[in-house]
Structure 1
Amino acid sequence: MESSVLPLLSDPAVHTGRARRVGFVLLALLLCAALGAGAYWLALQSYQNAARRQADQRADFYALTLQSELARLETWPRIAAFERALRDLLLQPGDPARRAAANRYLEDVQRSADVNAVYLIDAHGIAIASSNWSLPSSYVGQSYAFRPYFHEAMGAGFGRLYAIGNTTGVPGYFVAAPISAGARVIGVVAVKASLDAFGAALARSGDLVLLSDANGVVFLSSVAALTFRTLTPLSPAVQSRLRQTLQYGDTALTPLSDTQATGWPDTLRLALPGARPRTYEVEYRPVGRLGWQVAVLLDARSQRQSALVAGIATSFAGAFVIAIALTLRLRKQRYLERRRAAAALQQAHEELEQHIARRTAELSQANVELANKVDALNRTQRMLSETRDQAVQAGKLAVLGQMAAGITHELNQPLAALNALSDNTVRLIGRGRMDDVQHNLTLISGMASRMGRIVAQIKAFARKGETERERVNVHEAIRNALLLIEPRRRELDAHIECAPNDDDAVTVLAGSVRLEQVLVNLLRNGLDAMAQTEPAMRALTILVDARDDHVEITVTDNGPGLPEAVRERLFEPFFTTKPPGQGLGLGLAISQAIMEEFHGHLGARNEPGRGASFTLWLERG
C-alpha cells in the first residue's frame, strides 16, 4: 500500500494541479474584491451626492418656511404701532378708560395674529397694557428695559429676539415696533409668538434639523433633547452678555459634543438620546436678520452602509459568475470521471452484494438472538410487575393484620350492644311500650350501619388496587384512612388534626385504594412513633396544600424524629426500626413505589419542634 501511495504523492503533476487550483481561487477572490471595492466607491459617491441634493432642498424649504412665518409675525407690531388707543395710553398712562381700551385692542390683535401675547411698553421699559392683562401671568407692571428688543425698537426702529420669557418661563420669538408722538418715540408695542408649530413640523419630518442663533445656541430642533445646547463652546464674553439679557434664563448652555468634529463647520459631532456620539455632514441656510441658521444634518453612516451593501452584492454577483464558469468546467470533468468510475462501480457493486449476503446472514442470526432476549426481558418485567403488585397487596394485608385486634374491638362493642338492645326490645314489645321499641330499633339500625361502613372500608382496602390513574378526592381518601386507623388511635389516645382546606373537593391523579394504603402506612407509622411519647403530647397533623399543578399532603407526628442514619435507609425494603414481629420494613418502600406509579413522590424530613414529617407530592386532577 505504501509503495503505491508514495509515488503518487511525489508526482509533479499532482503538485502542479494543486498549485493551479490555489492560484485560480486567489485570482477569483482578488477579482471579486476589486469588483466590490469599485462598486462600493461608485455607490458611495452616488448616495452622497443624492443625499446632499436632498439636504439642500430640505434646508431651502425649512429656511423659506421659517422666513415666511417670521415675516408674518413682524407685520403685527408694525400695524399695531399706528393704533390711536395705544398712543393715547402712552400719553396719559393713568387714565383707566384708555388702559381698558388698549387692553381690548391688544386682545383682538392676539386672537387675530394667533400669538402668545401682545403688550405695550412705555419709554421706561414698563409694560402698561397687555392682551393677558386679566391672567395671573399678566405682563402689566413687568419691566422689560433689560431686553435687547426694547432698546432696538426705541432706537433703531424695530426689535427682534428669541428668548425664554422672563415672566412665564416659556420660550418665544419677540418682535417690537416703536410708537411715536411727533418726532419723539414714546413707547413700544411688542408681540411674543411661539415657534412650537414649526418645531413640531421639524419633528414630524424625520430629518435631523437644528435652528441656531448668531451665538451658535440651538434654540429649536427636530429632537427636543438637543435644544438649548451650543454648536461650539461659548466664549466668556458671550456667556456674560446672555446672562445680562436673560435671553435663555438660567439654562445651562452646554456644547452638543465635548470634541469638535474634523472639518467644522461642514461637519458636526453630537450624540442623539440613547446613542453614541456620531459625526454628521451639515447643510446651513441663513434665516432672518438675527444671524439665525437652519442646519440639516446628514448621517454619513447610512450612506456608507448602503454603499457597503452594494459592494458586497457586486462581489457576490462576481463570485456567482465565476462559480457558474467553474461549475461548467467541473461538470465536464465529472462526466469523464463518471465514465471511468462506472467500471469500478460495477465491480464494487458485485463485491458489495457478496458482503451484504454475508452481513444479512449475520444480522438474521443476531435478530433471532435479540428477539429471544426481548422475550426474556418481557417475562422478567411481567414477573417484576406481578411481584410488586403482590408486595403491595401483602403490605395491605400486613397492615390489616396489625389492625385486626383493634377492628375486632370496634365490631365487638356494637355486637354486644345489639344483643342487649334486641333482648330489651323483646321485653318492651311484651309490655306494649312501642315508643321505647322504636327508639331501640333506631339504635340497632345505626349500629348496624356503622358496622357495615367498617366492614366495607376493610373490604375495599383489602382488594387489589387499580393500576390506572384517575381523579381521587383527597379529603375522602383521608377520611377513609382515618376510619381504618381509628382503633390504633383510640388505643394510644392520640389526637389527629386535619388542617382545613378552602376547597374540600381537591382531587389528584392517583388510585383511591392505593392512595389510602399510603395514607394508612404514614398514619400508622406516625402513631407507632408516638407510642413512647407522653399521652398528652401524642398529636398527629394532616395538612393538605393545593397548588396550581400539584397537591402536597403532609403527615407530621410528635415522635422522636428520624436519626440521620435511619433517614438515609428509610425507603429500603425490609429496613425497619420497630421491634421484631411488629413490622416487615416494607411499608415505606411500597408507599414510595405506589407514589412513583402515580408520577408523584414521597419525601421525609424532621419538623423542628416536633417529630418526623412525611410529604406526598401528587399531580392535581
Structure 2
Amino acid sequence: MSQARPADLPAAAPRRARLVAIGERRWVWAVAILALTLAAFLLALRAGHDQVRMAARQRLVIAEAVLRAAVDRYRYLPAVLALDMQVQGLLADPGARDAAAAVNAKFEAIARASGIAAIYLMDAKGLTLSASNWNQPLSFVGTSYAYRPYFLDALATGASRYFGIGTTTQQPGLFIGQAVDARGGGVAGVVVVKVDLEGLEGEWRRAGEQILVSDAAGIVFLASEPGWKYRPFRPLAVPETDRIRAARQYGDSDLRPLLADGPPDPGGTIRLPSAGEAGSGIVEPVAMPDLGWTLWYVAPTGAALRQAVLVAAATGVAGLALAFALAAASQKRQRLRAEQTMRLALERRVAERTHDLSDANARLRAEMAERERTTAALRATQDELIHAGRLAALGQISTAINHEINQPLAALRTFLASTALFLERGDQATVRRNLQRMTEVTQRIAEIIRHLKDFARKTGPEHREPVRLAAAAEAALDLLRVRLRAEDVTVDCRIPPDAVVRAEPVRLEQVLLNLMVNALDAMRDAPERRLGLSATRETSGGRSPSWRLDVADSGSGIPPEHLGQIFDPFFTTKPAGEGLGLGLSLSSLIVRDLGGSLTAGNGACGAVLTLVLPAAEA
C-alpha cells in the first residue's frame, strides 16, 4: 500500500481549511436565503391581507346599503296603515258588520302588490283581528301575539322593529310594528308588516360572498351560509337564553355558539364551522345602531396566501440565483488566478518552444490549405459525378426520348406533304388548319428539347428556390412517358398542389427520375405494374415543417439483407451491364445537400422509397 509523501502533507492542510471555509459559507448563504424567503412571505402575506381588508370594507359598504334599502323600503307602510280609516274603524268596533272583511281584502291586495310576507292588525290585547293571509290555512286571524316583543315594544314606544321566526308559519322575517292611536286617546291596537329578507341571502350566495347579520345579543339571523343562522358568536348567558326562548324569537333553535371565544376584532381572522374554504378569512364588521344589528363580511384569504407563497418562491429562487452567481464569480476569480499562474508558466514554456510551435503552425497551415484544395476538388468531383449520373439517366431513357421526338417529326412530315397537295388544290382552310397543327407539333418538340437542356445543364447545391413537388414529379414523368406506356405502368400521383419544398429544381428532378427508374426496373417482371407517388406534410417533433414524398412500386420489394446497403456506391442487384449502382447513392447525396433525407423500406405491395425535404412557402 502506498504512503503519503512528506511533501504532500503540508499541502493537504490548506486544502482541508478551504473546504471547511466553503462549507461554512454555504450554510451562511442557506440561512440568509431562508430568512429572506420567510421575510418576503410575511411581507407579501401582510400586504395581501391589507388588500383583502380594503376590498372587504368596500364590499361591506355596498352590503350595508343593500340591506338598509331592503329594510327602509317598507318602514313607512305600517305608519300609513295606522292612519287608514277602515283600520281605525275596525279597532273602534271589532264587531261591525263587514269591517274585518274590508280590512282583510285591503291587506291582501297591498301584500300581493308589494311582495310583503304578511300584514296584520292586533287589538290592544294582542289578538289578531285582520290579516292579509285571512283565507290561508295558517291564517293569523284569531291568534294572540301579546307575548311577542314587537307587539310590546309598539305599545310602549309607538313603533317597533324586530327580527324573528313566526310562531304560526315558522318563517323568519322582519316585523315592523306601528301603534294605532284610539280616537279618545291611548292605543287602540298595533298594525304589523312582516318583511321577508331571505332573498338577500340567496343573492349573497350567488355572488360567492360570506356575509352575516347578527342582533344585539350577537345571534346570527341572516347569513349566506344556512348553517350559521340562529347561532350566537359566543355562548349566551342563561338569562339571555331564557328571554329569547320565552319570546320564541328564533323558534326551536338550540342557540349553539359559532365560536368559543366570540368574534375577533375588526380586521382579524375568523374560522366559522363550514365545509370547504367557506367561513374562513378576514372579518370586517359594521354596526347598524338604529336597528340594533351588526353586519359582518368575511373575506377569504386563500388568494393572498397563494400570492405570498409565489412571492416567497420567487424570492427564494432569486436568492439561490444570486448565491449561485456569487459562487460562480468566486470560482471564476479563483480560476482566473489559477489560469494566470498557469499562463505565466506556460509563457515560459512557450518561450522555450517557440521555434517548434512555429514549424508546427506552418505545417498545420499547409495541411489546412491542402485540405481545402482537396475539399474543393472533392466537391467538384461530386458535382461532376452528379452531372454524369444525370447524363447517364438521360442515356438510359434516350430511346424513349428519341421515340418521343420522332413521333412529332413524322407527323410534321405528313402534314407538310398533305399541305403541298391542298395548296395545289387551293384548299386554303385545310392549309391553315395543317399549318396550325404543324406549329403545335414544333412547339411540342421545342418543349421536349428545352426540358432535356434544363435537365442536362450543370447546377450546384447552393442554388435553392421554392419548388412544387407536383411540377417536379410531372417533369420526371414526362421523360419516362414512352417507357410508362410501353411497359403498361399505371401511375397513381397524389401530390397536393400546395406541396412546396426548398430545393434546386434540376437536382430534385434528377432524384425523382432515379427513384422512378428504379421503381420501373423493380416492376419489370411483375404481373401488375403500378407506380405510386404520394406526398404528406409533417410537422411533428417540434421540428421545422417538411414534406414527405413516398415513391412506391408493385414489385417484389427489397430483401431485408439489402436494406442496409441500398444507398452504398456501386451496390446493385441488376444484371451486369444494366447499371453501376450509383443512382440511389447519388440521389442520397443530393438529398443530404438539400437538407433532407432519403430512406428505403417495403410497403404492402413492393418497395417504398421515402424522400423528406424542408417545406417552403408556396
Into which bin does the TM-score normalised by the smaller protein fall? 0.5 to 0.7
Q: Distance in 2 between matches of 1:349 and 1:490?
A: 76
**Structure 1 residues 104 and 72: CA distance shift in structure 2, 3 A:** closer
Does the CA contact (< 8 Å) of 1:271 and 1:277 recur in 2? yes
**Structure 1 residues 406 and 68: CA distance shift in structure 2, 3 A:** closer
**Could you say what secondary structure the match of 1:576 adopts?**
coil
Matched with 1:338 is none
Matched with 2:444 is 450
Q: Distance in 1 between matches of 2:562 and 2:526?
A: 19
Shift of 1:607: 3.4
Q: Distance in 1 between matches of 2:144 and 2:593?
A: 90
Shift of 1:77: 5.7
Shift of 1:230: 6.7
**Could you say what secondary structure the match of 2:555 adopts?**
coil
Matched with 2:550 is 554
Matched with 1:99 is 105
User: What amino acid maps onto 2:380 in structure 1?
Assistant: E
Does the CA contact (< 8 Å) of 2:230 and 2:250 recur in 1? no
**Cα offsets for 1:23-66 (capped at 9, x unmatched):** xx99x98xx99xx99xx9xx99xx9xx99xx99xx89x98x979
Equivalent position to 1:531, from 524, 529, 535: 524
Q: Distance in 2 between matches of 1:2 and 1:76?
A: 107
Matched with 1:509 is 502
Matched with 1:564 is 560
**Structure 1 residues 572 and 348: CA distance shift in structure 2, 3 A:** closer
Q: Distance in 1 between matches of 2:364 and 2:537?
A: 47
Q: Distance in 1 between matches of 2:459 and 2:449?
A: 17
**Structure 1 residues 220 and 360: CA distance shift in structure 2, 3 A:** farther
Q: Distance in 1 between matches of 2:506 and 2:524?
A: 27
Shift of 1:105: 9.7
Shift of 1:176: 4.5
Q: Distance in 1 between matches of 2:199 and 2:176?
A: 13
Q: Alignment RMSD, CA only?
A: 6.2
Shift of 1:418: 2.9
Matched with 2:603 is 607
Equivalent position to 2:533, from 537, 542, 546: 542
**Cα offsets for 1:308-337 (capped at 9, x unmatched):** x9xx9xxx9xxxxxxxxxxxxxxxxxxxxx
Shift of 1:489: 0.2
User: What amino acid maps onto 1:484 in structure 2?
Assistant: L
> Does 1:386 find its partner at 2:380?
yes
Matched with 1:84 is 84
- Counterparts in 2 of 1:130-145, with a 5 A limit? 141=136, 143=138
Q: Distance in 2 between matches of 1:274 and 1:471?
A: 62
- Counterparts in 2 of 1:290-329, with a 5 A limit? 294=296
- When the two structures are superposed, what TM-score results if normalisation uses the length of structure 1? 0.62
Q: Distance in 2 between matches of 1:375 and 1:126?
A: 122
Matched with 1:337 is none
Q: Distance in 2 between matches of 1:277 and 1:363?
A: 82
Q: Which runs of 5+ in 2 are unaligned?
A: 155-159, 320-340, 540-544
Q: Distance in 2 between matches of 1:76 and 1:387?
A: 108
Matched with 2:591 is 595
Matched with 1:330 is none
**Structure 1 residues 286 and 550: CA distance shift in structure 2, 3 A:** same
**Cα offsets for 1:584-608 (capped at 9, x unmatched):** 2222222222222222223344333
Shift of 1:531: 2.1
Q: Distance in 2 between matches of 1:79 and 1:551?
A: 87
Q: Distance in 1 between matches of 2:342 and 2:610?
A: 69
Equivalent position to 1:461, from 438, 441, 455: 455
> Does 1:404 find its partner at 2:408?
no
Q: Give the number of aligned pairs.
A: 520
Q: Distance in 2 between matches of 1:450 and 1:94?
A: 114
Matched with 1:269 is 271
User: 88-97 vs 510-519, which deviates more?
Assistant: 88-97
Matched with 1:420 is 414
Shift of 1:494: 1.4
Shift of 1:281: 9.1
Q: Distance in 2 between matches of 1:518 and 1:359?
A: 54
User: What amino acid maps onto 1:519 in structure 2?
Assistant: L
Matched with 1:343 is none
**Could you say what secondary structure the match of 2:563 adopts?**
helix
**Cα offsets for 1:442-485 (capped at 9, x unmatched):** 33332222222222212211112242211223332222111111
- Counterparts in 2 of 1:329-348, with a 5 A limit? none
Matched with 1:582 is 578
Does the CA contact (< 8 Å) of 1:127 and 1:141 recur in 2? no
Does the CA contact (< 8 Å) of 2:534 and 2:549 recur in 1? yes
Equivalent position to 1:189, from 164, 186, 193: 193
User: What amino acid maps onto 1:189 in structure 2?
Assistant: V
User: What amino acid maps onto 2:503 in structure 1?
Assistant: A
**Structure 1 residues 281 and 154: CA distance shift in structure 2, 3 A:** closer
**Could you say what secondary structure the match of 1:568 adopts?**
coil
Shift of 1:526: 2.3
Equivalent position to 2:515, from 495, 515, 522: 522
Q: Distance in 1 between matches of 2:371 and 2:354?
A: 25
Q: Which runs of 5+ in 1 are unaligned?
A: 111-115, 131-138, 317-346
